[in-house]
Chain A
Amino acid sequence: MSDKSHDPNQMTGAAMIVRALIDHGVTDIFGYPGGAVLPIYDEIFQQSEVQHILVRHEQGAGHAAEGYARSTGKPGVALVTSGPGATNMVTPLTDALMDSIPLVCISGQVPTHLIGNDAFQECDTVGITRPCTKHNWLVRDVNDLAKVLHEAFYVATTGRPGPVLVDVPKDVQFATGTYHPPRKSDVHRSYAPRVKGDATQIRKAVSLLASAKRPVIYSGGGVINSGPEATKLLRELVEVTGFPITSTLMGLGAYPASGKNWLGMLGMHGTYEANMTMHDCDVMLCVGARFDDRITGRVDAFSPGSKKIHIDIDPSSINKNIRVDVPIIGDCGNILGDILQVFKAEAKKPDIKAWWQQIAQWRARNSLYYKKSNDVILPQHAIQSLFEATRGKDTYITTEVGQHQMWAAQFYGFEEPHRWMTSGGLGTMGYGLPAAVGVQVAHPDSLVIDIAGDASVQMTIQEMSTAVQYELPIKIFILNNQYMGMVRQWQQLLHGNRLSHSYSEALPDFVKLAEAYGAVGLQVTKPADLDGAIKEMIAVKRPVLFDCRVAALENCFPMIPSGKAHNEMLLPEQANDEATARAFAGGKALV
């Protein structure tokens, strides 16, 4: 080691970053250059192992990386410059934190001697992103960089996955130091997420499951994050026990929508049968979900008569919103495997015929009913047509946030995990288009559709340019009702129909807009033309903006009104103006 110039591990900080990406198997990153990351971009230019996708706004890089991660199970990587580059990443980082998406963001920083001087494009990136990352680092010494990068990938992808950020000052990118490949000692000794479930708790859980008369399995995004094994085991558990299963928004696809035990999604816009089953059950097995407020409704009336088993890798999810009886901390896949093993060895499939009869009655209420029209396209009908047209195809769906997102969750049947990318926890309008870019980069030959709303899609519409540049044939299926539909729905239901600033005045002509970007624009206004237009959209091998004009004032039902419990859902057939007013006025009258 006398002559360091021949040591292949001697390199600049910028080279270390690219090298670390390669060592972690990263093939695609999403980013936007700027002053404080130019040395890294220079390294990217001189290699071909890592493909860089140039977005049009850093938020797009973050959501694209999320879509990439969610659809592959691998970490997504974003590269941004200091100052505004970093602040533009705050939304995707927070989004990934809420939905437990593994994301590694590398940000440039002003040179170390300028930090704190209010230098050009300086901001306190680690300070700003501290509450919206699982962990973050500012690297002041090039010899710490390899260790930090390896730790960053480890922290992002293990335990409860999440976003991390590594802030690298420009002088550290230029400086030469020693690189080393990933090794165990790179990680804080204090970081050791628990994977294996406690055996006593698992036995308790099995005996509850075996004695259940009215059981339900409530699964979430954690099952998908855990990996394909967890999905397989969840399906096997449903088969072995014969239990009904529902899922959160984030968990769709872990159990197939065509499965006979599937109840549909639960929660605020979940199905009547899913919510009633949750409310009346005697044993609830929650796997990788977190009793979010969109799920529980009124917490003091949430599933009042049940014993609750909660499997979660994050101990802070236990008893956060709902008190549970049997918490099991660890990885879903691991614990489901143990539960299955004990169940098969020691328990029998409980007789729950009566429970299924009850569920059949709830199903018969047909809570997703809507009235089709020959004159105007109902948004539910549009999603159903899209689903039928893509059934059996290799399809990935992303969404924006709002009514269209809930209709997509209700009417698009997901058969496999990793096929559904949506912003659940943070509810980020503008997520779906860049997420579709990321998904398409990961799956170049698959059909990738962003089910969008006319308001959401405009928040990140500039990424159409990215799609065109990289020939990513994403399909943006806009349910255009000329409103921020969910905002309008709430205003109608809760604020005396005073539609304050929820009308999309001066909407662009989406067909012309698509053409301006060099993409394909399609528009459909009549139900009779819908199927043909969808077929055309799928056939086009270029990015498409699909302007689907739908009924403007359609509301998303069924719905748990605010302050109500699962068994107080408002069903579509009851949701005439008078009943709706009554359901919501009840809440108001108590004020």
Chain B
Amino acid sequence: MGLLDTEFSDDNIVITKVDDLLNWARLSSLWQMSFGLACCAIEMMATSASHYDFDRFGVIPRPSPRQADIIIISGTVTLKMATRIKRLYEQMPDPKYIISMGSCSNSGGPYWEHGYHVLKGVDRVIPVDVYVPGCPPRPEALLEGLLTLQEKIRNESLVKKAV
């Protein structure tokens, strides 16, 4: 991905910033919590299956929130499920990231008006890093969302910038 490619030509000493090293490590192995909600989960499955192959971005499904770095909210979040999602999110170790996949988890989607039991946007209970639009988003859109998240992580810093 650019950072280390040219550094190993002669010797094996690399000089880099701590920020860059940590960010590179984080963004290259985003372990995903394998957790599907609704229709979008099927597209998420298709993304991790043979044709689109999520693995090549370092995304490996983990069944436990305690081993996961990233949670993809893939589908409609209902009021009954929202408290569970919040608890799952709290169980994940820092640093943790969230991709909100599909219209439903972005804003309620087609259920925004009459959905008496639908939470209109998962960002009402947990903070979201990347929104992927679509109903459901194509696998390519989800991949783009992941690349956007990687870009975001690449620009993070340990030092708090002065405001």
Q: Do A and B come from one complex?
A: no
**Which residues of B are at the interface with A, using a C-beta cutoff of 8 A?**
none
